[in-house]
């Protein structure tokens, strides 16, 4: 079927209006009219080839919230009119242990990304959510709670789950000191979830101007990182720090803040390696870990949690023709706190 969207036609090119084909509905597929698509910093990294060679034309977008318009003959999970979400992957092998455990993002064959990847047929380039219509296998979509506004939900499909998952995995909760580095799209969801889970939350930000917002979101302490001396009194005091910063930084400054047996989780993906001082790691038996989005069962769990606690992303809704400006503003850390595209403007 013919659909409309926005694409980068080549690396680093500005995104432009583009018509393309999506597959017709298979027996297990659902079609959705996209309501909103979030702009993740990963979209920018990939459209600008900051992670290495990419596939063009590229329709980015892996934070997709929409409404089901038709269902394939064998679909049992959804019906027309349901509000559903699609995140960072659209398929996986379904047979490996990770897939069986609902950790499709760690599929041994590799998850099939929502864009910038070939579908499992090995030849069709996957096209993402900056578009008016999407087609998805029902097993890789999730139900959006009815009480939540769709524009605030879209970013949950990547930014939300990417912070929810490590907070659950490393058991953030009452009595735990949790740090969030970078108050952007991911970071602000980390603050909301860590606060809702009962942890004591500290934001590390290089933007003093975000202090009041951070406190309103549930942050207990706001530390401005432009002066590293601000970190010194916090040495060895955190159970868990989540690094969502999209740019290069000295990771050792933050490793030093982890207490005995605590963990620093790398989430941001600047594209260049970190230099880690061995002494800082072994001094307090610290762990340096990584975490990538979350699987389908946890994605649904996170959305249900958001429905119960009324948690959504803080968004700035834009029209399609503002995408390039939104990219530049995101890179300049000038976003409160996620740009979301109104899909009726494609």
- Which residues are near ligand NAP by CB under 6 A? 40-42, 45, 158-159, 162, 182-187, 205-207, 210, 244-247, 249, 267-270, 291-293, 330, 333, 335
Residue 107 binds: one of ligand NAP, Zn ion, none (C-beta under 5 to 8 A by kind): Zn ion
Least distance in angstroms from the C-beta of 78 to ligand NAP? 25
- Give buried/exposed letters for 52-83 (b at 16+ CB in 10 A, else e): eebeebbbbbbbbbbebeebbeebeebeeebb
- Output 88 or 141, the one with its CB closest to ligand NAP: 88
- Output 11 or 93, the one with its CB closest to Zn ion: 93
Can you tell me the distance from the alpha carbon of 166 to that of 170, in angstroms, rounded to the nearest whole number? 6
Least distance in angstroms from the C-beta of 271 to Zn ion? 14
Q: How far is CA 151 from CA 34, 121, 157, 302, in A?
A: 11, 32, 11, 16
By CB under 5 A, is residue 158 in contact with Zn ion? yes
Least distance in angstroms from the C-beta of 315 to ligand NAP? 12
- Output 162 or 205, the one with its CB closest to Zn ion: 162
Binding window for Zn ion (CB under 5 A); candidates: 41-49, 68-76, 126-134, 338-346: 41-49
Among positions 99, 142, 194, 315, the unique one binding Zn ion when judged by CB under 5 A:
99
- Output 42 or 300, the one with its CB closest to Zn ion: 42
Least distance in angstroms from the C-beta of 251 to ligand NAP? 12
Binding window for Zn ion (CB under 5 A); candidates: 66-74, 97-105, 223-231, 273-281: 97-105
Least distance in angstroms from the C-beta of 242 to ligand NAP? 10
Residue 131 binds: one of ligand NAP, Zn ion, none (C-beta under 5 to 8 A by kind): none
Residue 93 binds: one of ligand NAP, Zn ion, none (C-beta under 5 to 8 A by kind): Zn ion
Least distance in angstroms from the C-beta of 290 to ligand NAP? 7
Q: What angle do CA 116, 325, 33 make, to 5 degrees?
A: 55
Residue 188 binds: one of ligand NAP, Zn ion, none (C-beta under 5 to 8 A by kind): none
Least distance in angstroms from the C-beta of 182 to ligand NAP? 3
By CB under 5 A, is residue 313 in contact with Zn ion? no
Binding window for Zn ion (CB under 5 A); candidates: 33-41, 313-321, 322-330, 333-341: 33-41
Shortest-Cβ-distance residue relative to ligand NAP: 184
Least distance in angstroms from the C-beta of 247 to ligand NAP? 3
Euclidean distance between the first and the last CA atom of the chain, given in angstroms as a whole number: 16
Can you tell me the distance from the alpha carbon of 300 to that of 294, in angstroms, rounded to the nearest whole number? 10
**Up-side HSE of residue 172: CA atoms within 13 Å toward CB?**
30
- Output 158 or 249, the one with its CB closest to Zn ion: 158
């Amino acid at each position: 079927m013919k659909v409309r969207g926005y694409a980068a036609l080549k690396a680093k090119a500005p995104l432009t209006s583009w018509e393309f084909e999506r597959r017709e509905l298979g027996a297990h597929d659902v079609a959705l009219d996209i309501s909103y698509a979030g702009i993740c910093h990963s979209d920018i990294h990939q459209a600008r080839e900051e992670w290495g060679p990419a596939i063009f034309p590229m329709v980015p977008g892996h934070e997709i919230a929409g409404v089901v318009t038709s269902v394939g003959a064998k679909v049992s999970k959804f019906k027309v009119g349901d509000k559903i979400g699609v995140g960072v992957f659209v398929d996986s092998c379904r047979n490996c242990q990770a897939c069986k455990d609902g950790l499709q993002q760690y599929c041994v064959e590799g998850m099939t990304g929502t864009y910038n990847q070939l579908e499992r047929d090995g030849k069709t380039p996957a096209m993402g959510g900056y578009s008016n219509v999407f087609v998805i296998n029902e097993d890789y979509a999730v139900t959006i709670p009815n009480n939540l506004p769709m524009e605030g939900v879209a970013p949950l499909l990547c930014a939300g789950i990417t912070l929810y998952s490590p907070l659950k995995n490393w058991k953030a909760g009452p009595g735990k000191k949790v740090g969030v580095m970078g108050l952007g799209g991911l970071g602000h969801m980390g603050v909301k979830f860590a606060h809702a889970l009962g942890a004591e939350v500290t934001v590390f930000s290089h933007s003093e101007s975000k202090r009041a917002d951070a406190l309103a979101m549930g942050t207990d302490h706001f530390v401005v990182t432009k002066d590293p001396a601000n970190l010194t009194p916090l040495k060895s005091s955190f159970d868990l720090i989540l690094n969502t910063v999209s740019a290069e930084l000295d990771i050792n400054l933050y490793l030093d803040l982890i207490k005995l047996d605590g963990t620093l989780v790398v989430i941001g993906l600047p594209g260049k390696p970190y230099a880690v001082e061995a002494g800082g790691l072994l001094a307090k038996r610290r762990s340096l870990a990584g975490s990538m989005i979350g699987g389908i069962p946890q994605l649904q769990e996170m959305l249900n949690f958001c429905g119960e606690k009324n948690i959504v992303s803080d968004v700035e809704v834009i029209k399609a023709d503002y995408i390039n400006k939104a990219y530049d503003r995101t890179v300049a850390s000038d976003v409160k706190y996620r740009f979301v595209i109104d899909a009726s403007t494609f």
